[in-house]
């Protein structure tokens, strides 16, 4: 017998066997075979060869077998799209099956098959299922619309499924309502300006009715949807709160947090003197406390949310301090979070209790927790003045334990206590100095050096203490080096005769031997100040410091408002807005709390705090100190355009050399503070001047002698019109437009086209709050009715005195246009160049001083590609848009233009534009105290130069 028998076999392999079983006449055998196929598929075997045989098994009444086949289909349809089309007829048939479970199963599977070829066949069955008499089928079809929208959004819109979904919000079955809301919310997230969930009091009433009867996840969808609604007045707000409050006692913590989010948002609109407001505050505390008895992971999520709630409304939990006391078996992440909330809730009434707890925590074994506990004692001292003395004595007791990390943390917080309560607790300095040798962390060393420098006159051996730090100056961190430099200069100004050598030593170390630009800059400034005018130096360096604020780690108010609107989501755990961590976050809308209004206020505008009346004071152009953009605006120096800054009182004129050319002779004749501004800054000067009283002049002063004259400016750049509101989204009204600045007036130039069959009248326009307070300076002048197919041009003058709120992107503008048919919303982006004012040309010396004064971190550099203008033509073009060239110099064939512009809200932007002959790529460096605007300014540079 030959060996060929080993190569022949009667077994045809597993796939062949399965194929035979799938085609068996026996139902049980078929079902077993499909189960085997699914098992093989689950463990990763390729069973796609059996596709036609499995699809044949779809023709069955057996629900279990149908489910298995559908599961197989979902998995392999993508890799076998042509084969999957074979199953379409069965889907269509199953959507008309008398059994609602089979109809729902068919429509659910259709939504999961992500194959473009198949989607168009599914529209008809889906349309029928959306109107099915069985609610189970309708609720499944609602979710299917969202899935189909993800695959082919245009198809869903063309087929009118979105309107059907909106109708399902009025469905009699609560689960259908919940799924319709979930589907619409999902679709609206990817189309933030589509206004899909057009909520009004009637639809809100339907949602609230469904809320009581649907499942817990359905309740979450409805509550999240309610949170996006802005009530018309406080009465409606109260009514919604009353109907949502029962959800606070739900067993599911996600439902509780969603209900808290709705109540926190709508409470904004309730008057604080209302009895119901007080009742609501009391009702919010117990559910939050209950969340803390869950497992640690849930506790952590609850604590992160409570942290936000306590910052917004501390009165909710002010009597619940004890639940935040740390338990011995809490994980570290829960302990640290509880500690944070304890400090936020600390007040005169409970401070004794809190301090006793914190002192106990400071003797724990967990190092991170102990550090935080010691810091917490310091924060309590700053927050509750009456407890400061007790806190300081507690900290001294802890220092006596001589535990290294406890001592270091205590010194860091005592520094802050000294800042908050000057001339009160300085008697403890001697105790602190005893522990000098044990400090090895940069923050603690810097704090101790600050204390020695600040109170040098009270410490006999201050010079010896600081000298001990100076021995290893180059091994210290930057934080310690900067603090040491300042402390020794303070010591010199207080005890000049004894410390002359010490100050010369530190200035030399900081300027000649250091390559850190921050340290060298500070060293040069002190050196120049001390040599030019010691009296002025004393006034600058020993100036009275402002008291530090109570809470330094509060979340900035506009961000806090946004996070309150995201309670119960990842944003509230990260304490970051969704745009910071969601990929492709252009679709993420920035939410904010509604403004508190009177009952009779109009609700037609896109913005509740609008010009529609009410008792509020007119909004200021610059918002409250808490608002982020407001802080930036308040920080900005607004230098006069004609003269340099006046010398500070009590100083001799010599001190003004700091802002003039004298400093530049030290810096090698270059603008200090910007690596982008040339090579002279990066390396230390080769030769130090023999005398620091060198004559003023040279350096930057010479730079600003304009060599070539700058020609006449061209006209301002105006972008071409784009479609802002397409007719299909506005019932036939199409709006295209652009923005222009003409003779100092900002204008919104629009083309209105009526593509509907009816006449349009009664036009009005309103803007939402925006980054620069843009608002209409008058009504929208459409004097005649707009007939069908008619087009008119309208110019709307704008001013910048409206309410301010930081937008994303910064130049985004949300607009509402109303006519006799409806209110329509759209958003557009304006070129920031139209906000550049005509008096934006800075005086040369002021430009120099301001450039140096703005931190290097605020500098941004951009490339402008494919620009074929010479420097003079570029300068003329930019001047037409109020970007003024102050100086020009040429270095090695490269033209450098120094430019300034000023925004309507007083923010100055300084620029250096580099133009190399024959190179079509320009480099622009921008410096500004509000670095957020740099990106928009660069876009304007690009647009102006390329058009």
Report which of 575, 558, 557, 553 is spatially closest to residue 566, judged by C-alpha positions. Answer: 575
Six token digits for residue 261: 């989010």
Given strand 745-754, what is the order of strands in its sheet? Answer: 722-725, 733-742, 745-754, 791-799, 775-776
Six token digits for residue 518: 């921050």
Instruction: Show Cβ contacts of residue 441 under 8 Å, excluding neighbours closer than 6 positions.
Output: 405, 408
Which contiguous run of DSSP H or E holds residue 493? Answer: helix 478-494
CA–CA distance, 487 with 506 (Å, rounded to integer): 10
Six token digits for residue 616: 């509020």
CA–CA distance, 353 with 691 (Å, rounded to integer): 61
Instruction: Show Cβ contacts of residue 874 under 8 Å, excluding neighbours closer than 6 positions.
Output: 867, 897, 913, 915, 922, 945
Report which of 824, 826, 605, 604 is spatially closest to residue 730, judged by C-alpha positions. Answer: 824
Check: CB of residue 578 under 8 Å from CB of residue 590. no
Q: At what angle do helices 253-267 and 557-564 cross, to 10 degrees?
A: 130
For residue 846, the model assigns a pLDDT of 87
Check: CB of residue 598 under 8 Å from CB of residue 608. no
Check: CB of residue 897 under 8 Å from CB of residue 908. no
What is residue 623's three-state secondary structure? coil
Six token digits for residue 70: 């559908």
CA–CA distance, 563 with 601 (Å, rounded to integer): 26
For residue 743, the model assigns a pLDDT of 85
Residue where the block lists tokens 């800059």? 521
What is residue 194's three-state secondary structure? coil
CA–CA distance, 115 with 473 (Å, rounded to integer): 67
For residue 459, the model assigns a pLDDT of 81
CA–CA distance, 404 with 412 (Å, rounded to integer): 13
Q: Give percent of the chain above pLDDT 70.
A: 84
What is the chain's length?
947
For residue 722, the model assigns a pLDDT of 92
- The one-character DSSP state at 770 is B
Check: CB of residue 22 under 8 Å from CB of residue 57. yes
Which contiguous run of DSSP H or E holds residue 816? Answer: strand 812-818
Q: What angle do CA 819, 822, 824 make, to 5 degrees?
A: 90
CA–CA distance, 209 with 82 (Å, rounded to integer): 46
For residue 486, the model assigns a pLDDT of 92
CA–CA distance, 223 with 261 (Å, rounded to integer): 8
- The one-character DSSP state at 715 is P
First to last CA, the chain: 90
Which contiguous run of DSSP H or E holds residue 17? Answer: helix 14-22
Residue where the block lists tokens 């050598």? 501
Instruction: Show Cβ contacts of residue 202 under 8 Å, excluding neighbours closer than 6 positions.
Output: none
Residue where the block lists tokens 């600058």? 540
Question: Strand 764-767 relative to strand 775-776: parallel, antiparallel, unpaired?
Answer: unpaired
Instruction: Show Cβ contacts of residue 289 under 8 Å, excluding neighbours closer than 6 positions.
Output: 317, 320, 323
Instruction: Decide: pTM greater than 0.85.
Output: no
* Average pLDDT along the chain, 947 residues, taken 10 residues at a time: 56 72 78 84 82 77 80 78 74 82 85 76 83 88 87 83 83 87 83 71 84 86 86 86 89 91 87 85 89 90 92 86 88 90 87 87 86 88 85 87 86 86 80 80 89 84 84 87 91 86 88 87 90 85 78 77 89 88 63 60 39 37 37 36 40 35 36 36 37 36 36 70 90 92 90 88 90 90 85 92 88 91 90 90 88 87 86 88 90 88 90 87 90 90 87
Give the distance between the most distant pair of CA atoms in the chain: 119
CA–CA distance, 71 with 37 (Å, rounded to integer): 11
What is residue 894's three-state secondary structure? strand
Check: CB of residue 520 under 8 Å from CB of residue 529. no
């Amino acid at each position: 017998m030959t060996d060929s028998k080993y190569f022949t076999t009667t077994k045809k392999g597993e796939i062949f066997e399965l194929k035979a079983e799938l085609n068996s006449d026996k139902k049980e055998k078929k079902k077993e075979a499909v189960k085997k196929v699914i098992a093989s598929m689950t463990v990763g075997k390729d069973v796609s060869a059996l596709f036609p045989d499995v699809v044949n098994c779809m023709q069955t009444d057996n629900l279990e077998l149908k489910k298995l086949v559908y599961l197989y289909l979902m998995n392999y349809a993508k890799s076998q799209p042509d084969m999957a089309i074979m199953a379409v007829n069965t889907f269509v048939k199953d959507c008309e099956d008398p059994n609602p479970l089979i109809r729902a199963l068919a429509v659910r599977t259709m939504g999961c098959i992500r194959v473009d070829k198949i989607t168009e066949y599914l529209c008809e069955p889906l349309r029928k299922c959306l109107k099915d008499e069985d609610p189970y089928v309708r609720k499944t079809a609602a979710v299917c619309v969202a899935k189909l929208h993800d695959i082919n959004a245009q198809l869903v819109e063309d087929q009118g499924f979105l309107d059907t979904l909106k109708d399902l919000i009025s469905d009699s079955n609560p689960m259908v309502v919940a799924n319709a809301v979930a589907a619409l919310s999902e679709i609206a997230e990817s189309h933030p300006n589509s206004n899909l969930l057009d909520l009004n009091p009637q639809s809100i009433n339907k949602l609230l009715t469904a809320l009581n009867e649907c499942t817990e996840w359905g309740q979450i969808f409805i509550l999240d949807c309610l949170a996006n609604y802005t009530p018309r007045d406080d009465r409606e707000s109260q009514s919604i709160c009353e109907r949502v409050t029962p959800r606070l006692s739900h067993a599911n913590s996600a439902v509780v947090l969603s209900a808290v989010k709705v109540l926190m948002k709508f409470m904004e609109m309730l008057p604080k003197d209302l009895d119901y407001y007080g009742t609501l505050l009391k009702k919010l505390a117990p559910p939050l406390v209950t969340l803390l008895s869950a497992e640690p992971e849930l506790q952590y999520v609850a604590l992160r949310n409570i942290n936000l709630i306590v910052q917004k409304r501390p009165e909710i939990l002010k009597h619940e301090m004890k639940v935040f006391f740390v338990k011995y078996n809490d994980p570290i992440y829960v302990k640290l979070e509880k500690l944070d909330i304890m400090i936020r809730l600390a007040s005169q009434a409970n401070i004794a209790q809190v301090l006793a707890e914190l002192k106990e925590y400071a003797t724990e074994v967990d190092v991170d927790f102990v550090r935080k506990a010691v810091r917490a004692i310091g924060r309590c001292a700053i927050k509750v003045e009456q407890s400061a003395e007790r806190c300081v004595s507690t900290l001294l007791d802890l220092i006596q334990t001589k535990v290294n990390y406890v001592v270091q943390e205590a010194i860091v917080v005592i520094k802050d206590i000294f800042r908050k309560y000057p001339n009160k607790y300085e008697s403890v300095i001697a105790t602190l100095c005893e522990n000098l040798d044990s400090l090895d962390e940069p923050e603690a060393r810097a704090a101790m050096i600050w204390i020695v420098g600040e109170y040098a006159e009270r410490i006999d051996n201050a010079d010896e203490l600081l000298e001990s730090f100076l021995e290893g100056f180059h091994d210290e961190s930057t934080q310690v080096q900067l603090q040491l430099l300042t402390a020794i200069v303070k010591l010199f100004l207080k005890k000049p005769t004894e410390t002359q050598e010490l100050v010369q030593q530190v200035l030399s170390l900081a300027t000649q031997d250091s390559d850190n630009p921050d340290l060298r800059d500070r060293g040069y400034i002190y050196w120049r100040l001390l040599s030019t005018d010691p009296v002025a130096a004393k006034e600058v360096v020993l100036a009275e410091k402002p008291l530090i604020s109570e809470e330094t780690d509060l979340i900035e108010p506009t961000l806090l408002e946004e996070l309150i609107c995201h309670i119960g989501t990842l944003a509230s755990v990260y304490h970051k807005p969704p745009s910071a961590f969601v990929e492709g976050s252009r679709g993420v809308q920035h939410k904010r709390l509604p403004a508190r209004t009177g009952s009779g206020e109009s609700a037609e505008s896109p913005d509740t705090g609008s010009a529609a009346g009410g008792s509020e004071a007119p909004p200021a152009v610059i918002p409250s100190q808490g608002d982020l953009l407001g802080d930036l605006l308040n920080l900005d120096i607004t230098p006069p355009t004609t003269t340099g800054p006046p010398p500070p009182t009590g100083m001799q004129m010599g001190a003004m050399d700091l802002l003039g050319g004298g400093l530049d002779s030290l810096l090698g004749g270059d603008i200090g503070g910007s690596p982008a501004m040339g090579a002279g800054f990066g390396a230390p000067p080769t030769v130090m001047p023999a005398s620091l009283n060198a004559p003023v002049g040279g350096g930057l002063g010479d730079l600003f002698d304009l060599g070539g004259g700058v020609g006449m400016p061209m006209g301002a750049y105006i972008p071409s019109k784009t479609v802002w509101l397409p007719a299909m989204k506005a019932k036939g009204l199409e709006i295209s437009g652009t923005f222009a600045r003409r003779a100092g007036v900002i204008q919104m130039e629009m083309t209105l086209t009526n593509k509907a069959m009816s006449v349009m009248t009664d036009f009005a326009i309103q803007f939402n709050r925006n980054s620069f307070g843009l608002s209409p300076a008058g009504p929208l002048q459409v004097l005649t009715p707009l007939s069908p197919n008619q087009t008119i041009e309208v110019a709307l003058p704008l001013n910048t005195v409206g309410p301010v709120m930081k937008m994303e992107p910064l130049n985004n503008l949300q607009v509402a246009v109303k006519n006799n048919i409806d209110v329509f919303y759209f958003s557009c982006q304006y070129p920031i160049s139209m906000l550049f004012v005509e008096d934006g040309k800075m005086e040369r010396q002021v430009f120099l001083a301001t450039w140096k004064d703005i931190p290097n971190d605020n500098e941004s550099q951009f490339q402008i590609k494919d620009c074929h203008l010479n420097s003079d033509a570029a300068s003329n073009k930019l001047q037409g848009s109020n970007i003024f060239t102050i100086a020009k110099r040429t270095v090695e064939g490269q033209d450098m233009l120094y430019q300034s512009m000023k925004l309507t809200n007083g923010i100055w932007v300084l620029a250096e534009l580099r133009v190399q002959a024959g190179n079509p790529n320009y480099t622009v460096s921008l410096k500004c105290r509000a670095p957020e605007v740099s990106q928009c300014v660069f876009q304007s540079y690009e647009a102006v130069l390329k058009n």
